[in-house]
Amino acid sequence: MIIKKSEIEAVAVKRTQYPEAGLKEIAFAGRSNVGKSSLLNLLTGKKSLARVSGSPGKTRTINFYRINDEFRIVDLPGYGYAKVAKSMSRSWGEMIENYLENRENLLKVVQLVDIRHAPSAQDIQMYEYLRFHGLDGVVVATKADKVSRNELQKCIAVIRKMLSLSETDIVIPVSALKRTGHDKLLAVMEELLCGSGAAEKL
Ligand SMILES: Nc1nc2c(ncn2[C@@H]2O[C@H](COP(=O)(O)OP(=O)(O)OP(=O)(O)O)[C@@H](O)[C@H]2O)c(=O)[nH]1
Ligand SMILES: [Mg+2]
């Protein structure tokens, strides 16, 4: 798949702000600062479609990006940002759960984890939650440029083990800095969308 067209379609904190459900959606989840927005920019080839920042907690809304007028990528706000107030993290949880549990056109959630670190308790919890809702199966290991080729396989093995992945679950190492791994992710996304009956359109 080649992404020829990408644009932000909606910024939402509640259901009434979501765009209409006519297009299939694939969402990106992961802790704050893991690289969700950077990955979106890499996939679309647009440097600043999604806001990237050194300070975590940048994306605090659910951002819907319309891709090729065919489907959407949904950038979810990151979890695990310590400085966010308790009350705020509760409303964060509700915002995400509302989306993940009630969005009928949501196909899959790509879970992002930092390749350098063993998945955190929250990463594991998130993945189990996705599994429970049948949204699991694709993991992106971000910042792959930070480990050597040698370490890469070891890091992926740790991620597989900690998230209790099955053999059919996919882990894709990606680097937004070196611009690698996105082709594989695009291919996986295309397969997901085709399997859902959007084949002739892509
Ligand atoms: N070295 C390296 N740095 C990266 C990569 N991807 C993202 N970063 C950096 O990680 C930081 C966070 O990236 P974002 O894309 O804003 O992360 P996010 O997951 O969208 O964060 P929130 O919006 O806070 O949830 C930025 O400083 C990026 O430049 C990568 O592949 N390699
Ligand atoms: Mg972000």
Question: What is the per-residue pLDDT for 10?
Answer: 96
Q: Average pLDDT for residues 96-124, to the nearest whole number?
A: 96
pLDDT tens digits along 178-199: 999 999 999 999 999 998 654 4
Torsion of CA 116, 121, 122, 125, to 10 degrees: 120
* Ligand 1 binding pocket includes 177 (Cβ within 6 Å): yes
Residue 35 lies inside a defined structural domain of this protein: yes
Residue 187 lies inside a defined structural domain of this protein: yes
Question: What is the per-residue pLDDT for 79?
Answer: 81
Residue 199 lies inside a defined structural domain of this protein: no
* Ligand 1 binding pocket includes 110 (Cβ within 6 Å): no
What ligand 1 atom has the least distance to the C-alpha of 28? 19
pLDDT tens digits along 60-93: 899 999 999 999 999 998 887 655 556 656 777 8
Residue 201 lies inside a defined structural domain of this protein: no
What ligand 1 atom has the least distance to the C-alpha of 112? 19
Residue 19 lies inside a defined structural domain of this protein: yes
Closest by alpha carbon to 31, among 97, 67, 80, 100?
80
Rounded Cα gap, residues 83 and 56, in angstroms: 9
Tell me, what CATH number does 136's domain have? 3.40.50.300
What domain range is 93 assigned to?
6-194
Centroid of ligand 2 to alpha carbon of 60 (angstroms) = 8
CA atoms within 13 A on the CB side of 113: 26
For residue 118, the one-letter residue type is A
- State the CB neighbour count (10 A cutoff) for residue 54: 6
The number of distinct structural domains making up the chain is 1
Q: Average pLDDT for residues 133-145, to the nearest whole number?
A: 97
Centroid of ligand 2 to alpha carbon of 158 (angstroms) = 25
Which residue, judged by its Cα, is nearest atom 2 of ligand 1? 143
Question: What is the per-residue pLDDT for 89?
Answer: 66
pLDDT value at 200 more than 50: no
Residue 171 lies inside a defined structural domain of this protein: yes
Rounded Cα gap, residues 90 and 76, in angstroms: 15
Token code pair at residue 125:
């919890």
